[in-house]
């Protein structure tokens, strides 16, 4: 990806080097690009867009909405699992790791890939959004039949980057407790995703964790 050589990315790297001198950053450096390592481009079937990594110790591991095994499930993730159970009858998992989804082709990316400890949104507008917007555009332009799940207004603002003639875009309220009852619960995005994938001769996702 040519983005790593771009001037904006050089500036972003310089910013991160300085930040790391002063603050604890999440996720750990080796996990910043975890979503791309677990879900390589040729395997992407579904894209779920988040906003920021979790900013609590041990939570962020480079996959949006996901936390490593052994870390308590954040409220939005609890609501994702409630909707999954309602939609497909899937048991609510004991843990909050979505690695199994990523390994099946669900690209779990945040718009911003790093954050300061305890400071939500602290790395917004520093260049990450340029990078992740380009990722969305490349998936849209170079693949066919991908399902994009846009939960909440922030994610839905990315819809203009996606070719709706080639892909399925599903929109709902954010799963946060503040908004889940405004249309996230009952959206049935998990079954709709699999229906679409199977109609387009692709294997559905096993959403069970």
Is residue 110 within 8 A of residue 202, CB to CB? The reply is no
> DSSP string covering 7-32, please?
HHHHHHHHHHHHHHHHS-EES-GGGT
Compute the distance between CA of residue 190 and CA of residue 202 in angstroms, rounded to an integer. Answer: 15
Compute the distance between CA of residue 182 and CA of residue 184 in angstroms, rounded to an integer. Answer: 6
Based on the residue annotation, tell me whether 52 is a catalytic residue of this protein.
Answer: yes
Is the preceding peptide bond at 27 cis, omega within 30 degrees of 0? yes
Task: Return the number of other C-beta atoms located less than 10 Å from residue 143's C-beta.
Answer: 16
User: Which of these is catalytic: 2, 52, 117, 163?
Assistant: 52
Q: Which residues are catalytic?
A: 52
């Amino acid at each position: 990806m040519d983005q790593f050589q771009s001037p904006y990315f050089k500036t972003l790297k310089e910013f991160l080097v300085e930040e790391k001198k002063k603050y604890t950053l999440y996720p750990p450096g080796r996990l910043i690009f975890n979503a791309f390592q677990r879900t390589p481009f040729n395997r992407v079937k579904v894209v779920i867009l988040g906003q920021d990594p979790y900013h609590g110790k041990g939570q962020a591991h480079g996959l949006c909405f996901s936390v490593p095994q052994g870390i308590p499930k954040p409220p939005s993730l609890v609501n994702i699992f409630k909707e999954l159970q309602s939609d497909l009858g899937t048991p609510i998992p004991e843990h909050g790791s979505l690695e199994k989804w990523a390994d099946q082709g669900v690209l779990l990316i945040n718009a911003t890939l790093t954050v300061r400890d305890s400071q939500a949104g602290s790395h917004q507008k520093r260049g990450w959004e340029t990078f992740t917007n380009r990722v969305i555009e490349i998936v849209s332009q170079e693949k066919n039949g991908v399902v994009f799940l846009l939960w909440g207004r922030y994610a839905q603002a990315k819809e203009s980057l996606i070719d709706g003639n080639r892909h399925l875009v599903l929109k709902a309220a954010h799963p946060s407790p503040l908004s889940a009852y405004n249309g996230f619960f009952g959206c049935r995005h998990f079954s709709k995703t699999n229906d679409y994938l199977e109609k387009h001769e692709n294997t559905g996702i096993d959403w069970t964790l």
